[in-house]
Structure 1
Amino acid sequence: MRTALALAVAALLAAPPALAQTPCLSTTDAESIALVAMPEIIRDAGRVCSALPARSLLRRTDGTFLAKYETEADRAWPAARTAIAKLSDPAVELLLMSDYARTMLTSIFAPQITGRIQPADCPTLDRLATLLEPLPARNTAGIVVATLQYLKAEKARGKPASLPDLPVCPAEAK
């Protein structure tokens, strides 16, 4: 669960604190940012969880599991870049057009998230990765964002939730 939440937190930390309250990210925007962050977070989680067996999904540095997240991250980058620009100063949009912006953002955010992983968390995180493996990467991003929206709603109802105030809009009613 921490990794799922961590993915979204990493992606959403790009908003400057003064603008974190408004506007909020739509579900689609938040999923795009989560997709862009996922490959580096998965790789970094594998490094943190180096005590796991080499066959574990988190430890694999190549293969179909990571490749599907990399492919979707590439597809999601234009939408994620636009979403980040919505939350930032307009001058940031030009910086986000750089070839290095995506690498820089993910290299900053992944360690902030994976740095919270404790060795005792690694078997659970690997099990979560195994359960998510058959799903398309976009579905995993949807689970991350829906979980964040749920936890944010619970926090708003006064239920205890250790969750930062993230600029994710409430879940859209279906």
Structure 2
Amino acid sequence: MRNALAALLATSLIAAPAGAQPMRCLKPEEAESLALVALPDILRETARICTTALPPSAFVRANSAPLIAKYQAEADRAWPFAQKALLKLTDPIIEPLLNTQVARQMLTTLAVSQIVGRIDVGDCGKIDRMASLLQPLPPRNTAGLIVTALQYLKEHKADGRKGAKGVPDLPICAEPKP
């Protein structure tokens, strides 16, 4: 039953309903709530992958548990807002599913597979450095940096600029031009 619910949710998250309007977009704060929910699992899996490639004194090996705990607390607070953001992007018929942990697990599983699945263990030294730089920041700031960077890269991709290939087409609303 749980797998059937997960499959239904995944399908509804990626497939637009018949006769659907163009995909709606998320405000940056809504996208940040989704990032916040996914970050603890992304950090956890990144630490798992990089543990064997880093020395015992590396930040990821020595400090990942407190960092993940800090992000987990913020992810738990962000979940109600992330549910509303997901509902904005999906068919309203799945709203009851969004009120379950299955929806949260699907969101984090998709994010982890898209991000952590691309990690080359040769990059773990750089990842360790980035994690140590993120440590003092509040989790909301980290999510804001991620969403802002993705918006920036999405704009460069839309303009056909170099270095923007492979950027996901995220449904984040374009910022109005001044």
In 2, Cα distance between equivalents of 1:37 and 1:120? 23
Q: How many residues align?
A: 160
Q: 1:53 aligns with which of 52, 55, 58?
A: 55
Shift of the 128–87 alpha-carbon distance from structure 1 to 2, 3 Å rule, reads same
Check the 8 A contact 1:35/1:69 in 2, yes or no: yes
Q: Secondary structure at the match of 2:48?
A: helix
The answer on 1:169 being equivalent to 2:170 is no
Task: For residue 92 of structure 2, give the secondary structure of its aligned residue in structure 1.
Answer: coil
1:62 maps to which residue?
A: 65
Instruction: Quote how far apart the aligned CAs of 1:171 are.
Output: 3.3
User: Does the CA contact (< 8 Å) of 1:146 and 1:171 recur in 2?
Assistant: no
Letter in 1 for 2:14: P
Q: Structure 1: state its 5+ residue gaps.
A: 1-13
Q: 1:159 to 1:35 in 2, by over 3 A?
A: same
Structure 2 runs not aligned, ≥5 long? 1-11
Hey, what does 2:24 align to over in structure 1? 23
- Alpha carbons 1:43, 1:58 under 8 Å: kept: no
Q: Once the 2 structures are TM-superposed, how far is the Cα of residue 164 of structure 1 from its aligned partner?
A: 2.0
3-state SS of the aligned residue for 2:83? helix
Give, in angstroms, the shift of residue 27 of structure 1.
0.3
2:118 partner SS:
coil
C-alpha RMSD of the superposition: 2.2
For the structure 1 residues 152 and 112, does the alpha-carbon distance in structure 2 shift closer, same or farther, using more than 3 Å as the test?
Answer: closer
Structure label with greater radius of gyration:
2
% identical aligned pairs: 49
The amino acid that maps onto 1:36 is: V
Q: Distance between the aligned counterparts of 1:107 and 1:56, measured in 2?
A: 26
- Residue of structure 1 in register with 2:142 after alignment: 140
TM-score by length of 1: 0.82
* Distance in 2, Cα, partners of 1:139 & 1:17: 31
TM-score (norm 2): 0.80
- 1:164–1:104 Cα change, 3 Å: closer
1:115 Cα shift? 1.0
